[in-house]
Structures are given as C-alpha cells and as structure tokens.
Chains A and B, each alone.
Chain A
Amino acid sequence: MLKKQSWLVLVIVMVLVLSACSSNNNNAANNTTTPAPAPEQEKAPAVEKEPAAENVELRMAWWGSQVRHDRTLQAIEKFEEKNPNIKIVAEYSGFDGYFDKLSTQIAAGNAPDLVQMGGNIKEYVDRNAILALDPYIGTTLNVDKFSDSLIKEATFDNQYYGVTIGVSGFGLLVNETMFEKAGVPLPTVDWTYEDLKSIANQVSEKLGKGFYGSYDLSGNKSSLGDYLASEGKQIYTKGGLGFTKEDMIEWFNMWSELRASGGIVPAEVQVANDPTAADKSLVAKGQVAMQYASASQIYGFQTLTEDKLGLYTSPKGSKGTGMIPPVSGQFMTVYSKSAHPEEAAMFIDFMVNDPDAAAILGNDRGVPPSSEMRDVLAGQSTPVDKVLYDFISLSTEVASNFDYEIVPFDNEFTKLLQLTSEQIGFGQLKVEVAVDQFMTEADKIVKKK
C-alpha cells in the first residue's frame, strides 16, 4: 500500500486533475474580454425603486484607454457626491470586444443603463436597444448649447437617441520627434499621396533599421474611405460599391511599393503591433512615425511617450482631402430597457453640462459638444488639448462636402479589407488576384439581406 504521504499527494493531484478537466471544457464564450489594462467590475442588478429620493443603482459601460477610464471614474465619483442617492457601477473595457459583449447583453435583456456608442448608433436604434431621449430634453437633459449638426447625427425618425460626448475626427497621428530626428519636414495640409510616399521613405531611410515612416494603412477602412473620397468616390453608395477594381489596385499597389522600399512596416510587424491600441502602437514607442487614428486618441498615446505627437489631415487627392467633417466621436445612450431612465438622463446631463465634469473629463473623448463647456475648458488647456482643438478646426475647414453613406455590415467589410491587405502584405497573393477576390466578396457583403 502507498504511504500516507503518497496518498495525500495523489488526492491533491486528483483534485487538481478534476478541476483542470472541468476548466478546460467551459472556455467557449466566457473569455471575450481583451487583454486591456482595465479590469472589469462585477455587474450588480439595478435596484428597483421609483421615487427619486430612493437609492438607485445604475450600470454604465464605455470603452477607451486607461486615461479615459481614470477620468470617467473620477467624474462618476463627482456625480455620486452631488447625488448621494444614485450609485453608478462602472463596466469598462478596451475597444476590442466591446460591441460583441454589448450585443450579447442586449440579446439577454440585461445591458447596462448607460451605454457609450460610436458611429454605429443607428444599428442599435434599429434594433430597439436604445431609448429615445425626447421626454427628458429640456427638463432633465439640456442640449441647447450643442450645434444642430450634432443633434441631427443622433436623430432618427424624428427622435433623438444619443447625446454627443465628444467631437472628434480621424486623421494621421504623427510622431513629430521622429521626423525631427530624421530631418524630414512635417506634412502640411496640402500634402498629396505622392508626398506621403516620399516622406515615409525618407524617414525610414534616415532613421535606419527597425524604424519606419508609417504603418501600413492599406487595411484601414477609414483611410481607404478618405483616399476614395479624395477622388470623389465612396466605399458604399446607392446600394452598391462606390469604387472600381482599378481604384483598389492603385490603392494596394501604393502600399506594396512602400513596403518594398521599406517606407512602411513589414507585414508581420504590422500584425503583431496593432496600432489601434495605444499600448501596442509602435508610434507611441518611437519606432513608426505615422499611423491613422481617431483624433481624441492622442491623449492615450501621449501619456505613453515623451516624443511629441501631432495630428494631421489626410493627403489631398484631386477632389480635396476626402475627410469627413469632425463628428460625434461617441454618444452616451440609455438602454431601452433601463429601469431608471430618469437618473440615467441626469447623469448624461451632468457629463455634458456640468463644469466640474468638463474639467475632469477634458478632451479625452474629443472636443466637448457644448459651447459653454468649451469656454470653461479654454482656460485650462494643455498643449495636447491645443493640438486636438487645432486639428478639429482644421479638419472642419478642409473636409470634403458630400453625403457620406454608412457601409452596411461594416464589421464584415472591415475584416475582408484587412484580410486582403494581409494576403498582399505577406506575399501570398498578387495584387490583381487579391483584389479580384476582394471585389467579389465585398460585393456579396454589401448586397446581403
């Protein structure tokens, strides 16, 4: 027989085996959170209470970088101070997986009361997931200091669904220090795609091995959108694709040339260092000089580096920059099944109209939508704030004027574009072949349902 010690070891081992076996089987849909620095907090059920004096608990979800999480949590604390009967449980995360999780919560009927939305707000309105805020406008929630276009953006069927919490745009995020070191002049507002090519090549050359002028933007849908629009075309228009095979071949050829000349990162570096996350981007690490980003992301990026970062408009084509004018970067919405819409509306009002909140939140989600709050902040701007403001003003000026149509099945289209970019980048397919496949599949996607 085994000695007592061995029995003990055996029993412990068996317990571990059993627990390990079970943990292996249930991994399927549970691990959808990303390796973002922000941990999730436990969800607590909303307490059912009617009169405002009773204790109310709201849940709020948003995405962002650590800077945004810290600031928003601070703002929540401030709100709770002013409204001691309302408690807000925060459920925040990085952008990856945010909407997957939200869709699941909505399907299960228990999404948070306050939900940050992006440009895809219409998708959720169409699915009856968001509450119309009209009953609260003017009383609990004030948007009279907002410009009309911001309100229009979230108005569907004459009902207002989302309060803009930051005005932002997209553009090139540039590491100016790298340009200085390379002795290459910075882009100007009139630069063209030819300029972009030569600048990227120059920076790479001057800085040597391991440094690159730019990320590969060929797989970036917004970047493609700007390029097409700069020639007067669109990704999606009038029920079908707004561009031709030749357009795509030119687009991918441009980036293939840059890859061959070393002006942009090679394919495997691109894949391993996702530029959309501040903590993974090589621009924040001083190794790549340009990438595409949402303008308000500059805060998250700048806190991670001593290098000076700047925001620049997209290169000009024959019809201008092709850029969309700055729009609501994000909206704050109320879940259609929230038990406490009144209190939720109160919080939104606090977020966009209270000077304390404005001071705390700053420009991290973009420029404040309320002109009054912008004045409040004018006094305390930091250099990074100024960069953002200047960029927003500039891009408003040079934006192209056209009726931009939202691409249906955006998610699928984006994935397809990225796949095609990778196939070309890794040399798996020649540009013409890859584009053929791309056109066929893209056509299928936009013509679905």
Chain B
Amino acid sequence: MNQKYKTYLVGYGFLLPWLIGLFGLYLGPIVASFYLSFTSYDLFNPPKWIGADNYVNMFRDDYRLKDSIIVTFKYVFFSVPLRLAFALFLAILLNQKLRFLGMYRTIYYIPSLLGGSVAISILWKQVFDKTGLFNQGLSFLGIEGPSWISDPAYAIFSLVGLSVWQFGAVMIIFLAGLKQVPTELYEAATVDGAGAIRKFIRITLPLLTPVIFFNLVITLIQSFQTFTKAFIISNGSGGPINSTLLYSLYLYIKGFSFLEMGYASAMAWILLFIIAIFTGLLFLTSRYWVYYSDGGR
C-alpha cells in the first residue's frame, strides 16, 4: 500500500544515479554493439551488413582466437582460486585481536586500490623482468630466474601474480563475512574439544559459503574481462607468442589496431555468452554447497 509504495520510491531514488548511468552511458552502446557485431565496420566508413560472418569466422578462421581463449581460461582458472584463497587466509589472520589491526588491514588493502592502474602494471613489469628486483632476490638464494614477463612459458603467470596481489577488496568482504559467524558456535566447539582446523572446516567455511559464492562470481566476471595488465605488460602485443593475449586485449587489437569493429563487437558478445555460462553454472550448483543460515536463497 502506501508504505510499500514509498519504500520502493526511496529505493529507486537511491538507484537513480546508477540508473541514469546505465541508460545514458551503457545501454546505447550495448545495443549498438549488438548491431555492429553483424556488420563490417572500420570506423571511417559506415557499417556494412554481413550477417553472421563475424561469428562464423571467429570459429573457423581465427588462429589467434583459439590461443587467446586458452590463455584467458588459464588466467582465470589460476588467478580466481588463488586470489580467493589468499584473501580468505589474510581475512582470517586479520580477524584476530592484534594491536594496530586497523593499520594492517589498510596495508593489505592498498595493493588493490593501486592495482588496476597503469603505473602498477609498469612497475610490475620492471620487477619481474629478467634483471628486475624479483630475480635479484632469487639470485641471493643462488637461483637464476627466467624473464617472468617475456618468456612465453611464464608470462601469463606474472599476470596471475598481479591479479592475486590485488586481493584487498575480496579480503574485506571475507572479513565482513567472518565477523558474522556467531562466536557461541566456536565456544561450543571448544567445549566439545574441537581443534582450530576442525573449527575452520566445520564452522567457518560452511557459514562463509554465501560470501565465498559472492566473491567467486564477482571475481570470475572481473577476471574474464581483464585488460590493462595484459596490455601494459605485453606492450600491447599480447606476446610473446600470444602467451598474454587475454581475450579483451585481443578484442582491443582487432577493434582498434586492425580496425575491425564489427568483429570486435562479435567478440564482445561471445565473451558475454561465456561469462554468462560460467555464472549460470555457479548459480545452479550453488544450492549444493552454499548454506544460507537464514534459510534464504
């Protein structure tokens, strides 16, 4: 009734800035890109309708696309679990009563503030170069490190590393989740003689599953769309030998360097499709492993 109506109004009111952004900045280009994906468009001449040719060529003709997809999957499947694991680990550490706790939390959060930027990617490139800081450190241990950024076997892992380093936002959310676990449960478990590990596996993890689920979905989606790191570290090339050719980077090259905007738009929609499938899978399987303590879904 009137009260309900008012609540909705307030809700939409708060959403309004974001809604304006959505309709004003995102929706138009999204629709346009769908249309463009069926055309051949080089930015200077008007788009020429070619039907589903872009999509067909993607699967039949494009040797680089195959590499790109493999590289992207590799990147996602390494960086997402590692990032979550690190974030959880640190969240647990930082959930204790330590002095200067606030300071520690801030320090561990800082990388993810800086992380998305060009500057950090450049620094990362320097640190992991053949003669960079990391290898200098390794040489003290007597190990001669390879060039982490320009050896095709390792380059993708330098990107994974950079992604994992930016675990801060995920960590904060885990922290919030940890704080919601009722302490009585731990106390009861201690009384029953449970050790730390058992407490973690039987109490913490199950109750954290909603938060894990949330972080997993968000991080997965973000991860598939990674661009900046790959662009900077590989100097825009996705090299060496396409080993850092993340999907978004390849899309960029196709669209802006080769001026095949129609093809790039088709790539964007395929990416959406891929992400949707994975997200859908996560949601579908969630009922089997996510436990909502309030019985919700």
Do the beta carbons of B236 and A428 come within 8 Å of each other? Answer: no
Residue of B nearest to A272 (CB): B150
- In the complex, what distance in Å separates the CA atom of A31 from the CA atom of B117? 9
> Which residues on the A side are within 8 Å of B36 (C-beta)?
none
B247 adjacent to chain A (CB < 8 Å): no
| Cross-interface CB contact of B240 among A9, A33, A271, cutoff 8 Å | A271
- Given the known inter-chain contacts A31-B118, A271-B150, please indicate yes or no for A129 contacting B257, CB distance below 8 A: no
From B3-11, B201-209, B224-232, B275-283, the one touching the partner chain is B224-232
Do the beta carbons of A411 and B258 come within 8 Å of each other? Answer: yes
A442 to chain B, nearest CB (A): 12
B112 adjacent to chain A (CB < 8 Å): yes
- In the complex, what distance in Å separates the CA atom of A34 from the CA atom of B242? 19
| Cross-interface CB contact of B63 among A13, A25, A441, cutoff 8 Å | A441
> Which residues on the A side are within 8 Å of B149 (C-beta)?
272
Consensus secondary structure, chain A interface: helix
- Given the known inter-chain contacts A29-B252, A35-B118, A441-B63, please indicate yes or no for A272 contacting B169, CB distance below 8 A: no
> Which residues on the B side are within 8 Å of A28 (C-beta)?
225, 227, 248
Do the beta carbons of B231 and A31 come within 8 Å of each other? Answer: yes
B102 adjacent to chain A (CB < 8 Å): yes
Residue of B nearest to A108 (CB): B43
A136 adjacent to chain B (CB < 8 Å): no
> Which residues on the A side are within 8 Å of B35 (C-beta)?
none
| Cross-interface CB contact of A419 among B222, B232, B241, cutoff 8 Å | B241
- Given the known inter-chain contacts A17-B172, A128-B44, please indicate yes or no for A96 contacting B109, CB distance below 8 A: no
| Cross-interface CB contact of A418 among B118, B228, B231, B237, cutoff 8 Å | B237
Do the beta carbons of B43 and A428 come within 8 Å of each other? Answer: no
Give the bracket for the number of chain A residues in contact with chain B.
Answer: 35 or more
Do the beta carbons of A409 and B236 come within 8 Å of each other? Answer: no
- In the complex, what distance in Å separates the CA atom of A437 from the CA atom of B169? 44
From A69-77, A97-105, A234-242, the one touching the partner chain is A97-105
**Binary interface encoding of chain A residues 392-424 relative to chain B, with 1 for a CB under 8 A from any of its CBs, else 0:** 000000000000000001011001001100110
- In the complex, what distance in Å separates the CA atom of A125 from the CA atom of B236? 26
Give the bracket for the number of chain B residues in contact with chain A.
Answer: 35 or more
| Cross-interface CB contact of B45 among A127, A419, A428, cutoff 8 Å | A127
- In the complex, what distance in Å separates the CA atom of A409 from the CA atom of B259? 10
Do the beta carbons of B236 and A96 come within 8 Å of each other? Answer: yes
- Given the known inter-chain contacts A16-B113, A21-B169, A35-B118, please indicate yes or no for A272 contacting B257, CB distance below 8 A: no
> Which residues on the B side are within 8 Å of A419 (C-beta)?
239, 241-242
Do the beta carbons of B44 and A127 come within 8 Å of each other? Answer: yes
Do the beta carbons of B113 and A272 come within 8 Å of each other? Answer: no
> Which residues on the A side are within 8 Å of B256 (C-beta)?
29, 32, 100, 103-104
- Given the known inter-chain contacts A13-B109, A422-B241, A426-B241, please indicate yes or no for A103 contacting B172, CB distance below 8 A: no
A1 adjacent to chain B (CB < 8 Å): no
Do the beta carbons of A31 and B228 come within 8 Å of each other? Answer: yes
Do the beta carbons of A423 and B45 come within 8 Å of each other? Answer: no
Do the beta carbons of B130 and A100 come within 8 Å of each other? Answer: no
> Which residues on the A side are within 8 Å of B151 (C-beta)?
268, 426
**Binary interface encoding of chain B residues 91-106 relative to chain A, with 1 for a CB under 8 A from any of its CBs, else 0:** 0000000000010011
A38 adjacent to chain B (CB < 8 Å): no
List chain A positions with a Cβ less than 8 A from chain B: 5-6, 9, 13, 16-17, 20-21, 23-25, 27-29, 31-35, 96-97, 100, 103-104, 106-107, 127-129, 267-269, 271-272, 274, 409, 411-412, 415, 418-419, 422-423, 426, 428, 437, 441, 444
Known contacts A268-B147, A412-B258; 19 further A-B pairs (Cβ under 8 A): A17-B172, A20-B116, A24-B116, A25-B222, A27-B227, A31-B118, A33-B118, A34-B236, A128-B44, A268-B130, A268-B151, A269-B130, A269-B150, A419-B241, A423-B241, A426-B151, A426-B240, A426-B241, A444-B61
Q: Which 5 A-B pairs have the closest CB atoms?
A: A127-B44, A272-B150, A271-B150, A107-B43, A268-B147
5 pairs, CB–CB < 8 Å, chain A vs chain B: A13-B109, A415-B237, A419-B242, A422-B240, A428-B241
